[in-house]
Amino acid sequence: MALCTTNVMAETTKSDKPKLSREELANKRAKGIANRLALDGQTTAKFVTTFMDYQKEVWALGARVRNKDMADKSDAEVEQAIKQRGNRCRREEE
């Protein structure tokens, strides 16, 4: 019963915060990046504008299905492909 109470309390705490739109989140992210780069005010404004334009282009692309050919494969075939990809990455690092 204590676990149920904890989950309920955690859920209500999360929902108390207003959700930001993706535009607001992207703007906040851009300002944070500019701050970490220690950009001046004018450069920050240009960076935020450019970052927002870039982000809007990414959003316009929409969700893409990755590895369409994997949809027709069995779980075993997908697992084998993942292992092969991992082996390739390890060889490239060496």
The rounded distance, in Å, linking the Cα atoms of 12 and 20 is 17
What pLDDT sits at residue 18?
85
Q: What is the pLDDT of residues 74-85, one digit of tens each?
A: 888 888 888 887
Q: Tokens representing 23? A: 């535009």
In which residue are the tokens 């989140």 written?
A: 25
Q: For residue 91, give every residue at least 6 positions away whose Cβ sits within 8 Å of its Cβ, in sequence order, or none.
A: none
pTM of the model: 0.51
What pLDDT sits at residue 23?
94
Q: What is the pLDDT of residues 43-73, one digit of tens each?
A: 999 999 999 999 999 988 886 656 666 677 7
